[in-house]
Amino acid sequence: MRKISNVVGKCRFLVLVLIFIGILNAQKPLNNDIIRELEKSSSKGLKTRTTNKTHPKNNVKEKSRIKKTKKRISKKNKIKRRNKWKKKKRIKKKLPFKAFKKTASGALGQPFRGRLAVNYKLRPSRNYIIKNPERHFNYGTRWLISTIVTASARYKRSLGKSFTRIVVGDLSKKGGGPLGGHNSHQNGLDVDIGIPAKGLHLKGFTSLPNSRIDMRKTLLLLKSFIDTGRVQVIFIDSGIKAGLYKYINDNGLTRYKKYLNKLYHEPGHRDHMHVRLRNPG
Ligand SMILES: [Zn+2]
């Protein structure tokens, strides 16, 4: 009997040991699963929001992890934006002369996307002031340089004693192409001219109210350029254009109205007019 009870006791012990081992083995994969889950969540970042049952707001670790992934994403977006901007910049790079059809005048392509193959420099004169000669943005086609010289001489003649020198701004740079501060001025056909002020000898561009702009001089300046027959368009602030209309109507100068047809409004042209010549080919 004793032997039987001993055997039964041993069996019980064995069964208990086996159950204990079984429990241990069952727990192991569970632990492994949790570790794997945590690893996954750390690599997936924001995606854990959906898998984790506890609200992220209550979990500090989760919060910091989300912050990190957000930062990572914003960094990626920043790089993407920078690359886009670089692409845009690349487009603005000046194109080689080969990219354009040759012309006799040397003006290649468009004023906003072009080059200057034949360079003529605007020399100093008594009829005009070159605003920033040190920038060397005073190159253009022969067509443009001769137009400025002729128009300024005509302007001087038309004004007589009341003549004040024209202020000439940027033309194009040597060889043309993109010019800092301008969208156009790329192919030697554009020039910026200052708006004359009443009783002032301006040496640069100054933004003035209509009451202080010399409308008579402005009108004669427009006339002297347009009468060369080379002007395609003149960009100017619409407020100044309205002032010129008023001046023409007030003084019965209807024959001058035709000169205003070439004027087009362009923001940022309160202190100067932008004269664009047609491409002679
Ligand atoms: Zn301009």
**What are 173-223's pLDDT values in tens digits?**
999 999 988 999 999 999 999 999 998 888 999 999 999 999 999 999 999
Q: How far apart are CA 32 and CA 28, in angstroms?
A: 6
CA angle at residue 217 from 213 to 219, to 5 degrees?
A: 95
Instruction: Choose the weakest-confidence range: 34-48, 68-82, 118-132, 208-222.
Output: 34-48
Measured in Å, residue 180 CA sits from the centre of ligand 1 at: 11
pLDDT at 20: 63
238-254: average pLDDT: 96
Spacing, Cα 191 to ligand 1 middle (Å): 6
Distance 190 CA to ligand 1 centre (A): 7
Contact 192, 178 (CB under 8 A): no
CB atoms near residue 74 (< 10 Å): 10
For residue 197, report the distance from its CA to the centre of ligand 1, in Å: 19
Distance CA 36, CA 30 (A): 10
pLDDT at 67: 85
Residue 107, pLDDT score? 94
**CA–centroid distance, residue 273 to ligand 1 (Å):** 7
**How far, in whole angstroms, is CA 268 from its chain's centroid?**
15
Helix (H, G, I), strand (E, B) or coil at 242: helix
Contact 273, 193 (CB under 8 A): yes
**Mode of pairing for the β-strands spanning 190-194 and 272-277:** antiparallel
pLDDT score, position 44 = 52
Please state the pTM of the whole predicted model: 0.68
260-273 pLDDT, tens digit per residue, is 999 999 999 999 99
Measured between alpha carbons, how far is 175 from 119 in angstroms, rounded to an integer? 7
| DSSP-derived 3-state class of residue 59 | coil
Q: Which amino acid is at 184?
A: S
Confidence band (pLDDT; 50, 70, 90) for 47? Answer: very low
Residue 104 Cα to ligand 1 middle (Å): 24
Mean of per-residue pLDDT scores for the chain: 84
Express each pLDDT in 80-120 by its tens digit. Answer: 877 776 665 555 677 888 889 999 999 999 999 999 999 99
Cβ-contact 114, 190 below 8 angstroms: no
Work out the number of other CB atoms within 10 angstroms of the CB of residue 30: 9
